[in-house]
Amino acid sequence: MNYQNEIRNFIHQNMLISEDDIDFSDDDNYFKLGFVNSLFGMKLVNFVEQKFGIEVENEDMDLKNFSTVNSLLALIHKKINV
C-alpha cells in the first residue's frame, strides 16, 4: 500500500478543491485550498483510522497533523510504530 497515494486520492475525491488547485504538493496545506466543512473533517479522520488501522486520539486531532500529506504520513507512521 502506497500511503501517499492513498491519502492524495482521498483528498481529491472528498475535498472541495477547484480544478486549478488540484496539483498541490505533499507539503501544501490543503486545508487552505478549499473549504473544510464538518463532513470532510469527519471523513478524513475515519479514513485515516480505517485505512491504516490506527486510532486518532483527541491529542492527535491537531490541524498540524492533518493539513499536509507529509504531516499526515508522519502521524500515521508514528501511530503504527507505537
Binding site for another protein (CB under 8 A): 16-19, 31, 34-39, 41-42, 45, 58-59, 61-63, 66
Nearest residue (CB) to another protein, 62 versus 77: 62
Residue pair 23/69 in contact by the 8 Å Cβ criterion: no
Nearest residue (CB) to another protein, 33 versus 81: 33
Least distance to another protein from the beta carbon of 38, Å?
A: 4
Least distance to another protein from the beta carbon of 16, Å?
A: 4
Range list of H helices, the chain: 3-14, 38-52, 63-66, 69-81
Nearest residue (CB) to another protein, 5 versus 14: 14
- What is d(CA 75, CA 60) in angstroms, rounded to the nearest whole number? 8
- What is d(CA 80, CA 82) in angstroms, rounded to the nearest whole number? 6
